[in-house]
Amino acid sequence: MDTSKGTQICHRSQTSKGANRHRICANNRPQKSDPHRIRFTVGGNLVNYDGETYTPTSDLATAKILLNSVISTPGAKFLGIDLSNFYLITPMEDEQQCEYMYIPTWVFPEDIKREYNISALSENGKVLAQEIITGMYSLPQAGILAYHKLGKHFKDAGFIPAKFTPGLFKPITRPISFSLVVDDFGVKYIIKEDAEYLISALQEHYDVTIDWECKIFCGIHLEWDYKNRRVICSMPGVAQKGLQRFNHPIPSRPQHSPHPWTAPRYGNSIQYAQINSNTNFTKEQKKLLQQIIGYYLYYGGAIDNTILPSLGSISISLNT
């Protein structure tokens, strides 16, 4: 039985080299053609893959430098391109790379259960999907396989990766550059025909969604003002959602600096900053602080770097 992209349901008596659990992910991605997305992903806890897994995609610093390059180049504009099912349509390079996954029977609608006799294939409330023959989200090898396939197409079209910057591509003869983040491209172009050439090269192998205004990239909302050569970056509601998520109480007095203000002691020639030596955190407290740091670290790097000193201080206190 074929199920969506690259999996088959097998009989329970068939064995596997080690099956993984599945996860269901629900996301709202407004920049996608279908913003409301529910996907099966591989849990990955039992994946034992010895091959290469590093995928050279752009980091946040590269993306922000590219944005700055756009507003610093007269006549340049920014374009967003999304590749649909970028991982899912990439076949495994070797049949030995195929993976397996258990799927609980409750996820199947009743008509699908009847049509494919799922109950006869199930055991202990789950069925074995055999085999995963294409890339799938959360597989450690999915990213590099998709990147290798993309690199072959780009080479034929005359695009080459930058020598020292992962995820950054440049054509050999055209004044255009773009960065790849997972399956999204941020494209700097001056001549529209160059951008259309890139789009046509991708459309030969992928289903693409084009956003000529590119209002969102790397989770950052972009407000372009090409006339005055500037872009306003924001992540609306992220900071407030974090306060709600971690149940942070609203302070009685606003604090507008990264650290509380220490009143000076007049008359003392040397005044040292007060250091909080309380680092005896419980396991639960450490986990909570790690979650807070992880949540706000991306926001700090992307939008508000004034919070980075505080995050660094908290991180250091966890390791002392």
- Reported as a single tens digit per residue, the pLDDT across 158-210 is 888 888 899 998 888 888 999 998 888 999 999 999 999 999 999 998 889 99
Least-confidence region, from 25-34, 94-103, 172-181, 310-319:
25-34
User: pTM for the whole thing?
Assistant: 0.73
HEC secondary structure over the chain:
CECCCCCEEECCCCCCCCEEEEEEEEEECCCCCCCEEEEEEECCCCCCCCCCCCCCCCCHHHHHHHHHHHHHCCCCEEEEEEEECCCCCCECCCHHHCEEEEEEHHHCCHHHHHHHCHHHHCECCEEEEEEECECCCCCCCHHHHHHHHHHHHHHHHCEEECCCCCCEEEECCCCEEEEEECCEEEEEECCHHHHHHHHHHHHCCCEEEEECCCCEECCEEEEEECCCCEEEEECCCHHHHHHHHCCCCCCCCCCCCCCCCCCCCCCCCCCCCCCCCCCCCCHHHHHHHHHHHHHHHHHHHHCCHHHHHHHHHHHHHHCC
Alpha-carbon distance of 135 to 34, in angstroms, equals 20
Alpha-carbon distance of 30 to 217, in angstroms, equals 11
How confident is residue 6, by pLDDT bands cut at 50, 70 and 90? very low
pLDDT surpassing 60 at residue 47 = yes
Alpha-carbon distance of 246 to 210, in angstroms, equals 36
pLDDT above 90: percentage of residues in the chain: 29
Cα of 163 vs its chain's centroid, Å: 23
pLDDT surpassing 60 at residue 5 = no
**Domains of the chain, with CATH numbers?**
1-48+99-132 (no CATH), 52-86+139-234 (3.30.70), 235-251+278-320 (no CATH)
Least-confidence region, from 5-19, 96-110, 203-217:
5-19
Residues near 312 by Cβ (< 8 Å), separated by ≥ 6?
A: none
How confident is residue 99, by pLDDT bands cut at 50, 70 and 90? confident
- Give the model's pLDDT for residue 186: 94
- Reported as a single tens digit per residue, the pLDDT across 113-158 is 889 888 888 888 888 876 777 777 777 788 888 888 888 888 888 8
Which residue type does 194 have? D
- Give the model's pLDDT for residue 95: 66
Residues near 121 by Cβ (< 8 Å), separated by ≥ 6?
A: 9, 10, 11, 12, 127, 128
| Pair of tokens at residue 6 | 């690259």
